[in-house]
Amino acid sequence: MAVTAALVKELRERTGLGMMECKKALVETDGDIEQAIDNLRKSGQAKAAKKAGRTAADGAAVTAVSDDGRSAVMVEINSETDFVARDENFLAFANKVAQTALEQNESDASKLLETKLADGKTVEEARQELVQKIGENIQVRRAVRLEADTAIGAYVHGEKIGVLVALSGGDAQLGKDVAMHVAAMAPMVANPDDLPAEVLEKEKSIIRAQPDMEGKPEEIVEKMLEGRVKKYLKEISLVEQPFVKDQEITVGKLLADAGASVQSFVRMEVGEGIEKEEQDFASEVMAQVKS
């Protein structure tokens, strides 16, 4: 696989290392960015790598919550440019799709296209009309639904990062506070025990391969490993993280004080995992003018 400038740029963003180090790491792994990150961490050059997927497409994340506050849907609707993502017609369409997904209890994006909106048109028919009106490709990419024992917390940051949190105990405001935290801190799991065993084993192997482990007695290595794994789990677990609005307490303490717990959560970042062709601003404006 060719090592492109875009790959080097992404690796720099995810590791904070210099261009030459990133290019060398990618050459060594034949362009495999995840393997490059693992190798850099093993060598101690990269202390951490961002977990979020690559954001490479525009659009909006939109939520809809049921009247009783215990069910919610979040959808991602993609556009080609941020300019369109902020268009009132695009946002109106996105909100209609989210509401329809909630009412029809549909979280399969392909099936969602076949459902009917309040005006009788299917989502797909409305999408096609919007494409013709705006002149950009619009896609209903994905949808997710959560159910809660007590309350759903919903939060969308700048229309680009959406979060739903299902609570047992507590209320919608507590749920929103936790959702804001998830949007900002991007935890991987709710509790340390929720981390899949294979992910934990991979992290242990990376820690064991770091330079300062070399040559030490096995009992010392195990003690160091235990401490670093514990630190890692605190960093990626929602309940162990310092609450973003009050660093003196953890999210777990915030929840416990309210007699609540997190059943599940989902964080959606617009465009994550989609590769988008690089285009300079001037070319983007010219493309808009021509269309």
Short-list 38, 52, 47, 36, CA closest to 3: 36
Asked if residue 97 lies in contact with residue 75, where contact means CB atoms within 8 angstroms, the answer is: yes
| pTM for this prediction | 0.74
Mean pLDDT is highest, among 25-34, 93-102, 203-212, for: 93-102
When pLDDT is cut at 50, 70 and 90, the band that residue 239 belongs to is very high
Q: What CA–CA distances, in Å, run from 67 to 154, 162, 263? A: 13, 19, 20
- pLDDT for residue 99: 96
Of 11-25, 113-127, 159-173, 197-211, which range is least confident? 11-25
- pLDDT for residue 53: 34
At residue 65, φ and ψ (nearest 5 deg) are: -115, 140
Mean local confidence (pLDDT), 11-15: 74
Of 153-162, 268-277, 280-289, which range is least confident? 280-289
- pLDDT for residue 49: 42
Per domain, the residue ranges of the chain are 1-50, 58-162+265-290
Pick the CATH number of 1-50 from 1.10.8.10, 1.20.272.10, 3.40.630.10, 3.40.50.2030: 1.10.8.10
Q: What CA–CA distances, in Å, run from 217 to 152, 179, 223? A: 49, 44, 10
Pick the CATH number of 58-162+265-290 from 3.40.50.510, 1.10.340.30, 3.30.479.20, 3.40.630.10: 3.30.479.20
When pLDDT is cut at 50, 70 and 90, the band that residue 7 belongs to is confident
Structure tokens at 34: 């995840």
Would you call 289 helix, strand, or coil by DSSP? Answer: helix
Q: CB count, 10 Å around CB of 128?
A: 13
At residue 96, φ and ψ (nearest 5 deg) are: -65, -40
- pLDDT for residue 81: 85
- pLDDT for residue 275: 65
